[in-house]
Amino acid sequence: MTKKFHRDVWVGVALLAFCAVVFFLALQISGQSAVVPITLTVLMAVCSLFIILKGLRLTKAQEGEFHYALTVKDSKNAFLFMGFIIIYYLLFRYVTYWIATPVFMIFAMKHLKVKSWKVNILITVLYMIICYVAFVIILQLPIYKVGVLGRWFRYV
Partner 1 sequence: MLEYLSAAIASFASIEVLLALTVGVVGGMVIGIIPGLGPSVGIALLLPISFSMSPTAALVMMTAMYTTGVYGGSITAVLCHTPGTAASAATTMDGYELTKKGRGMEAISVVTVASVVGGIIGAVCLILFAPALGKISLMFSCLEYFLVACFGLLVVSGLTGDNQAKGFFSALLGLLIGCVGMDSINGVSRFTFGQLWLEDGLDSTPILIGLFSISQVLVLVDKLLRGSSSTIVDDPAAGLKGKRWEKGNGKKLAPTMMRSSVIGAFVGFIPAAGCSIAAWISYSIAKQTSKNPEEFGKGSIVGIAASEASNNAACGGALIPLFTLGIPGSPVTAILYGALLMHGLQPGSGLFTGGKAVTTYAIFLGFLFANVLMGIIGLTMAKQMARICLVPNSVLVPIIVALACIGTYALSNNMMEVVIMLAFGLIGYLMKIFEFEPAPLVLGVVLADILESNFRRTLIMAAPKGGLIPYFFSRPVAIIIVLVILGFALAPFIVKAVQKKKA
Q: Which is nearer to partner 1, 89 or 152 (CB)?
A: 89
Residues in the chain, total: 156
**Which of left, alpha, beta for 149 (phi over 0: left; psi -120 to 50: alpha)?**
alpha
Q: Does 139 bind partner 1 (CB under 8 A)?
A: yes
Among 56, 87, 99, 114, binds partner 1 (CB under 8 A): 114
Q: Does 13 bind partner 1 (CB under 8 A)?
A: no
The DSSP output letter for 2 is P
Q: Does 155 bind partner 1 (CB under 8 A)?
A: no
Q: Which is nearer to partner 1, 31 or 64 (CB)?
A: 31
Binding residues for partner 1, how many (CB under 8 A)? 64
Q: Which is nearer to partner 1, 62 or 75 (CB)?
A: 75
Burial bucket for residue 144 (CB in 10 Å: 0-12, 13-18, 19+): middle
Q: Which amino acid is at 74?
A: D
